Amino acid sequence: MQPAADLSPLDRVTIVSWNTAVGEGHVVDFVRTLAPGPLVLLLQEVYRGGPEVPSHLPSAVAAFAGHLGGAAAGPSCHEIEDVAARLGLNVYYVPSMRNGGFTFDEDRGNAILSNLPLTELRAIELPFERQRRVAVAATIQGRTTAGTPWRVRLVSAHLDNMSTIKRAWIGAEYGRARQARELTALLHDSEPTILAGDFNTWFGFSDRAYLDTARAFPQTTVLDRRATFRGLLRLDHVFFRLQPGWHAEFRRAESRFGSDHYPLVGALHFN
């Protein structure tokens, strides 16, 4: 979907990263708490339902996709295209896996929503650990009130929380670090980039996935170090590589709005 966008000059964009627990996060209610203006939502664990979801998959693929959230969780859960339509936002969604077996016509993955046009859409499949994971990327662009053009790539990612049975839980840190290194290598260029998502960093800011990603995005600063998963663990992060003169800041929201993760809310300033 690409509705008409306001292409007026702007000097800042509100950016949110949030794991929405497969539709259980109340995205519409949350967005309505934000100030009006240019907005980008980098979402993880969203779901899609309906006839667009493939009705047949190889059994080896379906075996990795237990059912989480989704329509069966209740009427408060909304699939991603419905959320985008209710908010009047552009949406780019790529499924990572089916959400349940063939009795559920759902899949789940990551998405980018915005009231700005999304271009240069890209799906990035991560190294396989326990489940298929696909990061999504898109570019937004415009000009400042001073007439200076800007463009920035935005990436929503979700790393595995566990590894294979062979490596078990203790090896999960190495598995997600491998995913993080592959992702940052594919994003290693001069393009201004914000990479955000659920990195499943069980060891917080000391986790290898965090450390490896932060080294690739050295401009990253953390103003709010509070836990993002049920108030217990810091699993969610935002990393950035910006043009000279730009700056960004992010803080954790005060409510989970129905999800098991808190949103990270911030802004990218172009001057």
Q: How many Cα atoms are found within 13 Å in the side-chain-facing hemisphere of 62?
A: 14
Element (H, E) at 29: helix 27-31
Q: Which helix (H) or strand (E) holds 62?
A: helix 59-62
Do 44 and 198 meet the contact criterion of CB atoms below 8 Å apart? yes
- Write the DSSP assignment of 179-237 as a string of letters: HHHHHHHHT-SSS-EEEEEE---TTGGGSHHHHHHHHHSTT---S-----BTTTB--EE
pTM of the entire structure? Answer: 0.90
71 has pLDDT over 70: no
Instruction: Return the DSSP state at 178.
Output: H
Domains of the chain: 12-269 (3.60.10.10)
Mean pLDDT, all residues of the chain: 88
Q: Other C-beta atoms within 10 Å of 151: how many?
A: 14
- 266 bridge partner residues: 15, 250
Name the least confident of 164-168, 196-200, 249-253, 262-266: 164-168
pLDDT for 188 beyond 50: yes
Q: How far apart are CA 115 and CA 173, in angstroms?
A: 36
